[in-house]
């Protein structure tokens, strides 16, 4: 898909300076900074106005642009450092208050909404903390990791010209100093050296904590460590201009930010709904040249609404309880999709509706897989439509299924307003991804789910082979996760998603709702699932209610599949499966 007129894509790159310096495609998010960086109207003449909200927090799923947001704020407050490869004094615009060597090149904000108002906040040194993932759950090792990270921040400022150890600058502390005292030192010394209050940016504040979820390790020592670290942000209020934190999780009952009683949580605010990720309007405007080029290369795409197809696969996230909040594309998934379409093979598959699924290969949260394998997250009675209360959080030691799924990006908000607020899968990519990861987490030994063998057995209506594969799969599922009929239907729902080109669950007809309907090529399979009942009961219900009738009008094969899972209420043995196929049409 090479075309000299197309801007480079910044897949795998979250450094705002590099993206702008290399003239990569950048979807302008600086209009949203107007609210984020709003200032108080009253300020003394010649004085830099204070932020309206000094402490702000944003939770978003993985691969959703949080690091790029933090990088953008870093560039906003301090521009290009003197030792940066992109530093060029000849390109610098005037910036009152910036130390010698620091500049803001014209190309940095040129063409963006920020071009007309950047500089309002003046120059501020930035202490950026990208908390490292722990290599172990030992509190001592996590403490050393945090101290080392803070020391590297100090050394970075030394490279930028801060003469640590030369009066009046004090020398950097040693690695034996507590992380809390390290942060106090950096904040106060940078304020003293530059005469300007620093900004603290924390990327992935929860990185050291999420690794504890689904383990038996007591997180209390690490919680105390982090409370002390984040408590500095409040005790150093007089030395700080602003604090911005991002993360995946919204933990309850850990009180990490108990001192920050004025912390503004942006996570579910309607105005911040499009702060990270892309709206459909932004995709049409910024990716239009890519999509037109694809239509030239692939005749099958001509005349098709490609944006609607992309939306079905990658769009659908909503972060505000308000029903009018924008629907958001996953930025990583869409950028990687555009990158993949450089391949002729990927374009051919996309033309057949098989769009790439890069979000799934970017790595699932390890703790989610652990919880599933341990049975500590139960399958819901219904896969879609779980109710949700705005502002929900969860405890490290008692994870809530819906909150975990929402905050990791597998669920998103739906409803609201006059309807009850609920959560559902955001799009087809995530629906299929979660199904595959969920089932593979259940399979003994971490093997793969036999989706192809199950699909082939359905196509050939090989009842014996299909039931044998299904029984093998269910034998690997923790018995705690199969407590009711809804749990069995949930597993079957995921299987249908993986086997079929299209599937429905709880599909409505005039007689009621079929448990599942799977479409494979020109075949339709209608499922009725029972627990501790009988195949005959399933048959009678499906026929009496006419669940298959809506699919028998066209010239295609329709097959009913009656399933009955037999398992004692308190039994730890795997379920016995009774299964029958019946051709209904023609």
Give the pairing of strands 557-566 and 523-531: parallel
Closest CA to 513 of 505, 521, 501: 505
Would you give per-residue pLDDT tens digits along the chain (586 residues)?
555 578 888 888 899 999 999 999 999 999 999 999 999 876 655 678 899 999 999 999 988 999 999 999 999 999 999 888 877 766 666 677 788 888 888 899 999 999 999 988 999 999 999 987 778 889 999 999 999 999 999 999 999 999 999 999 999 999 999 999 999 999 999 999 999 999 999 999 888 887 887 778 888 899 889 989 999 999 999 999 999 999 988 765 456 676 677 889 999 999 999 999 999 999 999 999 998 888 888 888 888 899 999 999 999 999 999 999 999 999 999 999 999 998 899 998 888 888 888 876 655 556 666 666 555 555 444 445 566 665 555 566 666 777 778 888 888 998 888 888 888 889 888 877 776 666 666 554 444 567 788 888 888 889 989 898 888 778 777 666 676 776 777 778 777 777 765 555 444 444 456 778 888 878 889 989 888 899 999 999 999 888 888 887 767 889 999 999 888 766 677 788 899 999 988 7
- Strand pairing partners for 55? 243
Closest CA to 524 of 461, 432, 436: 461
Q: Whole-angstrom Cα distance, residue 303 to residue 310?
A: 15
Q: Whole-angstrom Cα distance, residue 197 to residue 241?
A: 5
Q: Whole-angstrom Cα distance, residue 311 to residue 294?
A: 16
pTM, rounded to two decimals:
0.82
CB atoms within 10 A of CB 112: 16
pLDDT score of 510: 44
Helix intervals (H) in 64-138: 66-78, 106-109
Backbone φ, ψ for residue 302 (5° rounding): -65, 130
pLDDT score of 443: 55
Closest CA to 199 of 234, 241, 170, 236: 241
What topology does CATH give the domain 48-267?
Answer: Rossmann fold (3.40.50)
pLDDT score of 188: 97
Q: Whole-angstrom Cα distance, residue 467 to residue 61?
A: 37
Q: Whole-angstrom Cα distance, residue 338 to residue 81?
A: 32
pLDDT score of 361: 64
CB atoms within 10 A of CB 167: 6
Half-sphere exposure for 95 (CA within 13 Å, toward CB): 27
Q: Whole-angstrom Cα distance, residue 3 to residue 470?
A: 48
Tell me which DSSP letter residue 255 carries.
-
Contact in structure between 386 and 423 (CB atoms under 8 Å): yes
Q: Whole-angstrom Cα distance, residue 306 to residue 300?
A: 11
Closest CA to 360 of 9, 63, 132: 63
Contact in structure between 559 and 461 (CB atoms under 8 Å): yes
Domain residue ranges of the chain, discontinuous segments joined by +: 48-267, 449-586
Integer CA distances (angstroms), 511 to 537, 546, 547, 549, 581, in order: 16, 6, 7, 10, 21
Quote the distance between the C-alpha of residue 11 and its chain's center. 16
Can you say whether residue 119 is alpha, beta or left, with left for phi > 0 and alpha for psi between -120 and 50 degrees?
left
Q: Whole-angstrom Cα distance, residue 304 to residue 300?
A: 8
Closest CA to 250 of 142, 394, 133, 375: 394
Written as six digits, the tokens of 530 are 């029972």
Q: Whole-angstrom Cα distance, residue 225 to residue 204?
A: 16
């Amino acid at each position: 898909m090479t075309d000299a007129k197309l801007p480079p894509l910044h897949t795998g790159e979250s450094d705002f300076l590099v993206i702008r310096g290399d003239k990569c495609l950048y979807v302008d998010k600086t209009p949203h900074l107007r609210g984020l960086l709003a200032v108080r109207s009253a300020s003394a003449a010649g004085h830099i106005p204070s932020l309206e909200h000094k402490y702000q927090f944003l939770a978003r799923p993985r691969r959703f642009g949080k690091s790029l947001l933090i990088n953008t704020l870093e560039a906003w407050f301090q521009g290009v450092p003197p030792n940066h490869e992109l530093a060029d004094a000849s390109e610098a615009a005037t910036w009152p208050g910036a130390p010698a060597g620091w500049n803001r090149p014209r190309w940095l904000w040129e063409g963006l909404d920020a071009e007309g108002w950047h500089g309002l906040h003046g120059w501020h040194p930035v202490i950026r903390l990208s908390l490292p993932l722990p290599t172990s759950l030992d509190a001592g090792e996590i403490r050393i990791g945090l101290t080392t990270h803070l020391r590297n921040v100090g050394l970075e400022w030394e490279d930028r010209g801060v003469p640590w150890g030369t009066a009046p600058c004090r020398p950097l502390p040693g690695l034996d100093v507590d992380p809390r005292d390290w942060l106090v030192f950096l904040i106060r010394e940078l304020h003293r050296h530059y005469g300007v209050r620093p900004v603290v940016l924390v990327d992935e504040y929860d990185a050291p904590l999420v690794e504890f979820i689904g383990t038996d390790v007591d997180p209390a020592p690490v919680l105390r460590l982090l409370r002390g670290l984040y408590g500095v942000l409040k005790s150093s209020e007089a030395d700080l201009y602003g604090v911005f934190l991002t993360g995946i999780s919204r933990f309850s009952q850990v009180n990490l930010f108990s001192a920050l009683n004025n912390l503004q949580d942006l996570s579910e605010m309607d105005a911040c709904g499009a702060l990270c990720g892309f709206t459909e309007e932004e995709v049409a405007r910024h990716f239009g040249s890519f999509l037109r080029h694809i239509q030239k290369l692939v005749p099958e795409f001509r005349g098709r609404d490609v944006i609607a197809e992309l939306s079905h696969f990658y769009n659908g996230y909503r972060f505000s309880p308000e029903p009018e909040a924008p629907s958001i594309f996953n930025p990583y998934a869409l950028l990687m999709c555009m990158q993949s379409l450089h391949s002729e093979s990927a374009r051919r598959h996309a033309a057949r509706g098989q769009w790439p699924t890069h979000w799934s290969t970017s790595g699932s949260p390890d703790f989610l897989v652990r919880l599933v394998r341990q049975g500590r997250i139960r399958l819901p009675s219904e896969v879609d439509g779980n109710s949700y209360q705005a502002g929900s959080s969860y405890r490290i030691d008692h994870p809530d299924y819906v909150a975990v799924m929402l905050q990791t990006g597998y669920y998103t908000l739906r409803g609201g307003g006059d309807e009850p607020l609920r959560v559902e899968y955001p799009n087809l990519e995530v629906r299929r991804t979660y199904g595959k990861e969920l089932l593979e987490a259940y399979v003994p030994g971490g093997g793969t789910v036999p989706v192809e063998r199950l699909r082939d057995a359905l196509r050939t209506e090989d009842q014996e082979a299909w039931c044998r594969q299904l029984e093998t799969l269910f034998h690997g599922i923790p018995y705690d996760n199969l407590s009711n009929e809804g749990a069995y239907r949930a597993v079957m729902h995921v299987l249908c998603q993986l086997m079929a080109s299209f599937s429905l669950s709880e599909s409505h007809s005039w007689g009621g709702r079929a448990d599942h309907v799977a479409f494979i090529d020109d075949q339709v399979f209608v499922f009725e699932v029972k627990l501790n009942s009988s195949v005959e009961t399933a048959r009678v219900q499906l026929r009496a209610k006419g669940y298959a009738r809506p699919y028998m009008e066209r010239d295609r094969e329709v097959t009913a599949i009656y399933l009955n899972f037999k398992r004692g209420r308190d039994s730890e043995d795997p379920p016995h499966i009774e299964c029958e196929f019946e051709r209904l049409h023609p």
